[in-house]
Homo-oligomer: A and B are copies of this chain.
Amino acid sequence: MIEFDGISLRLGEFSLRDVTLHIGTGEYFFIIGPSGAGKTVLLEAIAGLHSPDGGRILLRQKDVRTTPPEDRRISLMYQDYSLFPHMTVEENISFGLKMQQVSPEKVKERVRRIMERFGIANLANRLPRTMSGGEQQRVALARALVVEPDVLLLDEPLAALDPITRDFFTRELARIREEYGLTVVHVSHSREEALRLATRVAVIIDGRLVAEGTREEIFSAPPYREIARFVGMENILDGEVIGTAGGYVTIRIGKCRLRAPDRGLKEGDKVAACIRAHEIRISPTPPAGREENVLSGRIVSMLSDGAMVRMTLETPFTPMIADVHRSKVIRHGLKEGMEVFLWCPPDAVVAAPSLHPVESS
């Protein structure tokens, strides 16, 4: 559906560098990355609002270098919704159809239908500034969809909403994609949204596409240390590969050793061992029958928020964070200040090298 072939694009302080990408028909494609990484520029390049300095963009198998935005049949929605402030809701939604010279009766009919679909028929004569964020969001969606695009570009569509409305729209977006048979490209830096919506995820850092894969690949086994940090892996321990055997590597971190699945690393590589807080088990005695991936530490703080208790632990090299279920805490009688053992299964450790390797001893 959408192909980027070595796209480069400079635009003031933002830039894309040699981005190659393929988004298939019907995908819910997520683009995540820190702010300023070039995510919005990428969306705008798809919509035809910027011309690349180098490379090709294919849309529906055709080179669209000379196709202006108005002829691309791609709708774009920004975080601020960008409703036309001088038009009523009905005029906003009608705008696209009028531009496409649809007859006035048909415009009226199609706008009426979509306003009913989105539950905004009662807002028809309101001006955008008189409406809440959630209402504006629905109008913007209706305006984008009434022209029947087959691609919908979303630039942080949920960032400006409060948590409850956001939750509602997350489900709504998934439903809309099915209903309209859309290919969606969604830019965000929310991990939760990606987990709930994405079929595939790409990570952009500093204008470069540094990773692409299913959401499980990116979130559970991030290929680089920087991505691990970005997707919120709580524990990132820097070390060095000291051996590989049987599909696993051994990573030395200070005086400790951790085993992790091998991902094509070799001895001497600098890597970070990344572990999610909820994968760490805590016990007051050495875990029976476990000899690897066991560390000792001391509980510094415990914080309960619902069923899980978040612990900060002091270990020989760095503070670590573990999420433990409340029942475990009670069973083991865990308390602040206690000396404990930390264990995690080798398959839960992600060995991630750095994108920008630094020289160190």
Contact = CB atoms under 8 A, between A and B. Distances in A.
Given A171-B312, A312-B171, A325-B325, A303 B195 contact: yes
Contact of A323 (B163, B276, B307): B307
A229 B229 CA distance: 30
A306 B325 contact: no
A196 interface: yes
Contacts of A229: 164
Given A171-B312, A229-B164, A312-B171, A323 B303 contact: no
Contact of A305 (B163, B171, B192, B305): B192
A195 to B, nearest CB: 6
Contacts of A164: 229
Contacts of A192: 305
Copies in the complex: 2
A301 interface: yes
A335 interface: no
Interface residues of chain A: helix, strand, loop or mixed (majority): mixed
A306 B307 CA distance: 13
Nearest to A196: B303
Contacts of A306: 276-278, 323
Contact of A232 (B163, B307, B308, B312): B163
A15 to B, nearest CB: 21
A195 B305 contact: yes
Contacts of A305: 192, 195
Interface string A295-313: 0000001010111100010
A30 to B, nearest CB: 15
Interface of A: 163-164, 167, 171, 192, 195-196, 229, 232, 276-278, 301, 303, 305-308, 312, 321, 323, 325
Closest 9 CB pairs of A and B: A278-B306, A278-B307, A196-B303, A195-B305, A163-B232, A325-B325, A276-B306, A307-B325, A307-B323
Given A163-B232, A195-B303, A308-B308, 7 more contacts: A167-B321, A276-B306, A277-B306, A278-B307, A306-B323, A307-B323, A325-B325
